Amino acid sequence: ALSIISAVQFHSHALDSKSQENQLLDFWAIFESVLDISNKHTSDRINQVCIHLIPILKRKYVYSLILQLSEDIKNFDEEYYNMIMRGCDSEIDKTARLFKIISLPNLIEERNELCDKCKKFPLLKERIEYYTETFCTLKSTYEFVEKHAQRVKWQIMRIYRNRNLIIHNGHSMPYLTLLIENLHSYVDDFLEYTVQNMAKGHTINSMCQNLFAKECEWLADFSNKKNNYDEEKVQRILEF
């Protein structure tokens, strides 16, 4: 609980500060404070942060993409959207329904109809076709999410390099504004996940152990190219 209080204070200081360098340092301090990252660890600080942070940031990545696509289809043709979503009440049900239309081979007729409906909006149609190709198998879906996770990791490492530059010689890179925007987003996702888990009775240690277990499940279920889609795995992809 004390670490969360410290995190909230760091977050408040970052938002109040007019110095971008101080904003970056305060936001970064949230990770180290909550995760208790210090010199006592045998591995590098950045590795310790990434081990815990990347699984949080890549969770529900596919869900967020399909949810945005769902909203775009609704804005483009609400009558057709309501027709294909008939019987789906919740956001997760609607997102799962669209993901199934896009990815499952037995729904090719519905998928073709969707693309035909969107032909007057070529960018939307191209996005649907891209997702169909990307999410056609569990293996390709897994690789897509892992590429996203790798890009996030590279950005976190850029942030950490800037953190070290600021601390050691007061300098920073010219793209600091973009890094802070990304860092702010990462921090908010991290804190939301942490607070939700602590509300469920988790400690930071048990939360991290749970993250590791979920990573193992993700690897076992979706990295094997021999595994095929089914209703349960579609749901789990969206919930991961």
- Read off the pLDDT of residues 117-129 as tens digits, 9 standing for 90 and up: 888 889 999 999 9
pLDDT tens digit sequence for 171-189: 878 889 999 999 999 999 9
Average pLDDT over every residue of 211-233: 78
Whether the pLDDT of residue 240 is over 90: the answer is no
Nearest to 145 by CA among 212, 65, 79, 82: 65
Please give the pLDDT value at position 62. 92
User: Between 162 and 223, where is the model more confident?
Assistant: 162
Handedness of CA 129, 148, 238, 71 (dihedral sign): negative
Mean of the per-residue pLDDT values of the chain: 88
Residues 6+ apart with CB under 8 A from 128: 69, 102, 111, 114, 115, 118
Please give the model's pTM, rounded to 2 decimal places: 0.86
